[in-house]
C-alpha cells in the first residue's frame, strides 16, 4: 500500500492527463506542424495517435496491475531489480534542472505578451508560479485535478469558439488525398508533434491515488490521450484555416493572433490566461510527480524526512525539496543567462529513455498481446532516439553516471 490518499476519480484523471499532454504545446505545436508539413499535418495527428497507442496501452496496463507512486521506476524495479529502478528514478529527477525552468519561462511568457514583463518581472512571475504549485500540492491531488479539469474545459471551449465564430465546418476541411501526402513532410511533422505526448510517465506516478486504480487509471489515460489528440488536431485545422503560420510569426503567437482577429484585441487576455493555465497544468503535474518519486525513493531510509507524509497523507517534505531545486535552478539560469531552447532539447532525450525503459519493463512483465505492444513501443522509442541523434547525449551520459556512481545497495 502506497500510503498516499486515494481521492482521484475518472473525470479528474482525464483532466490531469489531457492538460499534461496539452501543456506548453497546444499553442505552439500546431503552427510548427503546419509550417513543416502544411495540409499534410491534418493526417499526421491521427497517424501519431495510432503510433503512440501501443506506448499508452502499456503504461495503462502496467499502471492498472502495479499502481505505485514510483511510476516507471516501480515498473523497472519489478522487471529488472532495484538498482536499475534507482537509476530510472534519478534519471527522471535529472529533468528538474533543465526542463522545469524552461517550462516556467514558457508559462510566464504569456505574462510578457499581456503585460510587457521583462527580466526581473518574469523571474518574480516564475517564483510566484512555483508558490501556486506548492499551495496546490499541499492540498492534495484532487485539488490539482479539479483545477486542471477546469483548464481542459477552458481549452476545449476556446477552440470550439474559434471553430464556431470562424465558420469552420467539418465537411469543408481540405484533407489532402492520401496518395498526395509527401512522406518527408509527414515524417518532419511527426518528429515535431511527438513531444505533445510526453506526459504519460508523469501521470503514472499518480496511479496509486485513484479511488479505483484498476478500473479508472487506464480509462483516464486512454480518454485523456484521445481528448488531447483531438484538441491538437482541431488547433491544426484552425491554424491552417486562418493561415496563421509562417517563419516570421512565433509559433506560440498563432492562436492569440487568431483570437484577436476574431474577437478583437480586448480578447487577447483570454488567450493569454488560458495559455498560461495550460502551461501551468503541465508544470504542476510534473512537480507533483517528482515529489511522489522522491518520496518513494526515500522509503529505503525511513528516518529521512523525505520519507514521511503529512497529516493529509501527502509527500509535502518531498514536494518542498523538489520546489527548492526548482527555485535554485531558476535563479541560476536567470543569473547565468542560459539558453532555454537547449535545455528543452536535453530534457526530451531523458523522456525518450524513460519511455524506453518502461517499454522494456513491459516486455518483461506483460504477456500475450500486451507484451507485443510493449515490444512495438520499445522499437518506436529506439526510432525516436535515432531521430533525436546527438541531442540525446545528455540523457545517455546521465544514465551512465547514475549507473556507475549510485550506490548498489538498496539503501541508496
| Helix, strand and coil percent figures for the chain, each rounded to 5 | 80, 0, 20
**pLDDT tens, position by position, 57-109:** 999 999 888 888 888 999 999 999 989 999 999 888 888 887 788 788 878 87
Q: What are the cell numbers at 371?
A: 507484451
Residue 412: pLDDT over 50: no
> Domain span at residue 368?
12-405
Residue 219: inside a domain, yes or no?
Answer: yes
Residue 296 lies in a domain: yes
**The total number of structural domains that make up the chain:** 1
Tens-place pLDDT, residues 102-161: 788 878 878 777 777 777 888 899 899 999 999 988 887 788 888 888 988 999 999 999
Strand, coil or helix: what is 359? helix
Residue 7 domain-assigned (yes or no): no
CATH of the domain at 326: 1.20.1740.10
pLDDT, position 139? 85
Structural domain contains residue 4: no
Mean pLDDT of 316-341: 85
Q: What is the model's pTM?
A: 0.85
pLDDT-derived band at 231, boundaries 50, 70, 90: very high
Q: Pick the more confident residue, 242 or 102.
A: 242
Mean pLDDT of the chain: 85
Range in 172-176, 189-193, 270-274, 332-336 the model is least confident about:
189-193
In a domain, 411, yes or no: no
Predicted local confidence at residue 409, as pLDDT: 59
CA-CA-CA-CA torsion for 127, 339, 202, 14, nearest 10 degrees? 80
- Find all residues with CB under 8 Å of 299, minimum gap 6, and list them: 307
Grid cell of 366 as nine digits = 506483460
Closest CA to 374 of 364, 386, 389, 384: 364
Q: By CB neighbour count within 10 A (0-12 exposed, 13-18 middle, 19+ buried), where does 168 fall? A: middle
Does 410 map to a domain? no
Query: What is the percent of the chain where pLDDT is above 70?
Result: 94
Asked whether residue 6 is assigned to any structural domain, the reply reads no
Residue 336 counted as domain residue: yes
Amino acid at each position: 500500500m502506497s500510503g498516499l490518499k486515494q481521492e482521484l476519480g475518472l473525470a479528474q484523471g482525464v483532466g490531469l492527463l489531457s492538460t499534461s499532454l496539452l501543456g506548453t504545446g497546444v499553442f505552439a505545436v500546431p503552427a510548427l506542424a503546419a509550417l513543416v508539413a502544411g495540409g499534410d499535418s491534418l493526417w499526421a495527428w491521427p497517424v501519431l495517435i495510432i503510433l503512440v497507442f501501443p506506448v499508452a496501452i502499456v503504461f495503462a496496463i502496467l499502471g492498472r496491475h502495479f499502481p505505485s507512486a514510483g511510476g516507471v521506476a516501480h515498473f523497472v524495479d519489478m522487471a529488472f531489480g532495484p538498482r536499475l529502478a534507482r537509476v530510472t528514478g534519478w534519471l527522471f529527477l535529472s529533468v528538474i534542472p533543465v526542463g522545469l525552468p524552461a517550462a516556467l519561462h514558457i508559462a510566464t511568457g504569456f505574462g510578457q505578451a499581456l503585460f510587457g514583463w521583462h527580466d526581473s518581472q518574469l523571474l518574480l512571475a516564475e517564483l510566484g508560479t512555483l508558490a501556486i504549485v506548492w499551495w496546490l500540492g499541499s492540498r492534495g491531488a484532487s485539488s490539482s485535478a479539479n483545477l486542471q479539469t477546469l483548464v481542459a474545459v477552458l481549452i476545449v471551449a476556446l477552440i470550439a469558439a474559434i471553430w464556431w465564430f470562424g465558420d469552420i465546418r467539418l465537411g469543408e476541411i481540405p484533407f489532402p488525398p492520401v496518395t498526395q501526402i509527401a512522406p518527408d513532410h509527414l515524417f518532419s511533422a511527426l518528429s515535431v508533434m511527438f513531444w505533445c505526448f510526453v506526459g504519460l510517465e508523469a501521470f503514472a506516478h499518480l496511479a496509486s491515488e485513484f479511488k479505483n486504480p484498476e478500473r479508472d487509471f487506464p480509462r483516464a489515460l486512454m480518454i485523456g490521450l484521445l481528448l488531447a489528440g483531438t484538441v491538437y488536431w482541431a488547433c491544426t485545422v484552425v491554424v491552417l484555416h486562418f493561415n496563421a503560420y509562417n517563419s516570421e510569426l512565433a509559433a506560440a503567437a498563432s492562436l492569440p493572433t487568431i483570437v484577436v482577429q476574431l474577437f478583437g484585441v480586448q480578447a487577447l487576455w483570454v488567450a493569454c490566461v488560458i495559455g498560461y493555465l495550460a502551461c501551468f497544468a503541465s508544470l504542476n503535474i510534473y512537480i507533483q510527480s517528482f515529489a511522489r518519486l522522491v518520496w518513494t525513493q526515500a522509503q529505503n531510509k525511513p528516518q529521512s524526512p523525505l520519507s514521511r507524509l503529512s497529516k493529509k497523507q501527502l509527500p509535502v517534505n518531498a514536494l518542498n525539496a523538489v520546489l527548492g531545486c526548482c527555485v535554485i535552478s531558476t535563479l541560476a539560469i536567470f543569473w547565468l543567462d542560459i539558453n532555454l531552447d537547449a535545455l528543452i532539447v536535453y530534457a526530451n532525450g531523458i523522456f525518450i529513455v524513460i519511455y524506453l525503459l518502461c517499454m522494456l519493463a513491459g516486455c518483461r512483465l506483460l504477456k500475450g498481446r500486451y507484451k507485443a505492444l510493449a515490444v512495438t513501443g520499445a522499437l518506436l522509442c529506439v526510432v525516436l532516439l535515432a531521430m533525436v541523434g546527438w541531442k540525446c547525449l545528455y540523457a545517455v551520459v546521465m544514465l551512465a553516471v547514475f549507473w556507475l556512481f549510485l550506490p548498489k545497495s538498496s539503501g541508496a
